[in-house]
A = this chain, B = another copy of it.
Amino acid sequence: MSQPPSTPPRPRTVDADLARRAFDEALAQHDQAFGTFFLARLFGFEFVYDDTPGQETCSVSFELKDFMFNPQGTLHGGVICFLMDVSMGHLMAHLVGAGATLELKTQFLKAATHGRITAQGRILQRGKSIWFLESRLTDEQGEPLAFATSTWKAPRAKPGTA
């Protein structure tokens, strides 16, 4: 796709100050636990849980920064997968403890280029040993950007718990 001559060329390097600030904050403030582990801090993830019974969600949102971009200048699909995984894994950890992802499928509906985006993880089915989850990624206007589903192995019940 040729571009009109007036379009400024895409910068070949990322915003160094922005990246360094994100890195320094992540290094200073991380704690290798749910919600606060290093990569979650580096990307600036913020977590909001809704505990309404039967419709529990975990929403993870952050502001796009160009150090997360692919060579085409949009949010890297791999970062989207990472975010989707986090939104579902944190929901599960919040409700019953750390599970293990067996598989994750993400569909990429639309490229994201700027602003704040939010992935909302939700339960499809909650079994004794297996959970099925979904996550929807939207931009600030609520436009869908990606959709993911995953399958998880639940943590084993601790002795003495139901």
Asked if A31 lies at the interface with its beta carbon under 8 angstroms from chain B, I say: yes
How many chain A residues touch the partner (CB < 8 A)? 63
A147 shortest CB reach to chain B, Å: 5
- B144 touching A147, Cβ below 8 Å: no
Dominant secondary structure at the A interface: mixed
The answer to whether B129 and A147 touch across the interface, beta carbons within 8 angstroms, is no
Let me know if A37 and B151 touch, CB within 8 A.
no
| A–B pairs, 18, beta carbons within 8 Å | A13-B30, A19-B27, A20-B23, A33-B71, A34-B71, A37-B76, A39-B76, A78-B78, A78-B83, A102-B102, A102-B132, A103-B107, A104-B105, A107-B132, A110-B125, A129-B129, A129-B153, A149-B149
What B residues does A72 contact at CB under 8 A?
Answer: 98
Would A82 and B71 count as touching, CB distance under 8 A?
A: no
Question: Is A79 an interface residue when CB atoms closer than 8 A count as contact?
Answer: yes
A10 to B93, CA, bound (A): 18
Contact (A103, B151) CB under 8 Å given A30-B14, A109-B124: yes
Establish whether residues B33 and A12, one from each chain, have CB atoms under 8 Å apart when the complex forms: yes
